[in-house]
Chain A
Amino acid sequence: MKSATLLFEATALTTKVKVDDVSMVFNGDGKTVRVLENVSMAAGEGEFVCILGPSGCGKSTLLNIVGGFLQPSSGQVEIDGEPVRHPDPRRIFVFQERGVFPWLTVRGNIGFGLNKLPREERRARIEHYVKLVGLEGFEYTFPRELSGGMKQRLEVARALAVNPDMLLLDEPFGALDSITRLVMRRELLRIWEAERKTILFVTHDIEESVQLADRVVVMSARPARIRRIVEIDIPHPRDISSPHYLELRDSIFAEIGLANKV
């Protein structure tokens, strides 16, 4: 029933990603670990979807399957109606900031996926994305001299520069301090509003998901199933002390089985 309404909503936007009854089982050391169980969900074109679940539940595995880095044990993922079989520059996976190439400068990283473009266009794109993520003045700096937040922005810029339709973000702000994390959320929303990519954003942070997403897919502990999909119908910029925000947030806390108290 839930998934039926979900599919309905998604088609209203034209479906970008369709995860169809995906299960994942890992075999290793003579043990069988069931990681994902019958996961079905969808995301519309330009939609911001958070996949929320406890650490180690398998949400990263789901994102890797959508990215084409892993093949599911059963079920399949379709993007634009085509089954996903391998990684593709149309959907860029953003790791925590450790994914930037330390041997390249900021410019070199942003231009990494652009070497087929004519020189002039390449330069223009690099400049555009340097500016978009606020790294002006650091064009020739190497990543080791950048802060964690700057590296994260660099990785997002590198991903956006190849003009993908989708960004797959795997706990992108998990390694940042809490203040930088807040700044980065605002930055990401600003970039998303400017570029309107479809975003799948994996997180274990309830507040983060309610602040960012159009919809939050709440997953259970391993083997991960979808517990509920919560629509966050609050326009941006969101007032995070409004009753409606708190109500949505608390409903997710309750869903995960946590009392909203410390």
Chain B
Amino acid sequence: MKRWESYSWPLLAAAGCLTAWYFAVARTHTAIFPSPIDVEHGLVELVREGLLWRDIGDSLFRVGVGYGLGVLLGVPLGVLLGWYPTSAVTVNPVIQMLRPISPLAWIPLAIVWFGISSFSAIFLIFLGSFFPIVVSTMSGVRNVPEMFRRAGLNFGLSPAGLLRRVVFPAALPQIVVGLRISLGIAWLVVVAAEMIAVDSGLGYLIIDSRNAGKRYDLVVAGMLLIGIIGFCLDSGIRRLEKVKSVRWGFRYE
């Protein structure tokens, strides 16, 4: 694929979707579903009222803190569990049982504990990102090839040196995969959390636009923004996979 093709084809596809959307709305004369032009007007209105940046900022802030905590606590815990097989055997059932519980199931408890506040949303995002990070880090550490460990020992490394200079870098590609997956989850969770547990952010924008006047143009505008920001977050974290000391762990180029 040529360079211009890698930009122009996706743009063309997006334009095609917008066009199809426009004509579908025009032909069916639907009163609920807005056309792309209505959505654009809605966006302009939000920008003018200054609501848009505030909502985006609030959502990103919550993801930043919740996900950040998930990384800060999840990676070390995962390394620990991977490093000491006994601890993994001990704790693994608990983790595997907590993991399939959707963070959304925690909403009632979160509200009891933290009230209708950013803390509730942050807590839910933390839960959503913490477990995938722990599990992928743990398995990354456990799957470090025996040969690397032995080479490290052969050069006289202490256990701490082995962990820092061999095991962690060897596990890093898989840790990065976990980081990427969990960032996606965090972004999914923030929207849901904001619909119930707080009164600002993109999720709140969507639910509030519907409740206060059935503004479906704003609902769809919020959805589009969530999609675009999610895409940007994913492209951002994908850059980690291109870092040279990590890239060896990924097959595709």
Q: Which A residues lie at the B interface, using CB under 8 A? A: 67, 69, 86-89, 92-93, 95, 98-99, 101-104, 112-113, 142-144, 162
Interface residue SS majority, chain B: helix
Contact with A along B152-186 (1 / 0, CB 8 A): 01111000000001100110100000000000000
Say which residue of A87, A101, A102, A143 sits within 8 Å of B153 (CB atoms).
A87
A107 CA to B70 CA in the complex, in Å? 34
B155 near A112: Cβ-Cβ < 8 Å: yes
A99 near B156: Cβ-Cβ < 8 Å: no
Point out the residues of chain A lying under 8 angstroms from B151, CB to CB: 93, 95, 99, 101
Question: Given A87-B154, A89-B155, A113-B156, are A99 and B248 neighbors across the interface (CB < 8 Å)?
Answer: no
A101 near B150: Cβ-Cβ < 8 Å: no
B155 near A104: Cβ-Cβ < 8 Å: no
CB-nearest residue of chain B relative to A143?
B248
Q: Give the bracket for the number of chain B residues in contact with chain A.
A: 20 to 34
User: Does B244 sit within 8 A of A, measured CB to CB?
Assistant: yes
Rounded to whole Å, the gap between the CB of A172 and the closest CB of chain B is: 13
Point out the residues of chain B lying under 8 angstroms from A143, CB to CB: 248
A142 near B244: Cβ-Cβ < 8 Å: yes
CB-nearest residue of chain A relative to B244?
A142
A73 CA to B155 CA in the complex, in Å? 25
Question: Given A101-B169, A102-B248, A143-B248, are A88 and B156 neighbors across the interface (CB < 8 Å)?
Answer: yes
CB-nearest residue of chain B relative to A69?
B150
User: Does B246 sit within 8 A of A, measured CB to CB?
Assistant: yes
A144 CA to B248 CA in the complex, in Å? 7
A89 near B156: Cβ-Cβ < 8 Å: yes
Given contacts A87-B150, A104-B169, A142-B247, 8 further A-B contacts (CB under 8 A): A87-B153, A87-B154, A87-B156, A88-B156, A102-B249, A103-B169, A112-B155, A113-B156
A101 near B156: Cβ-Cβ < 8 Å: no
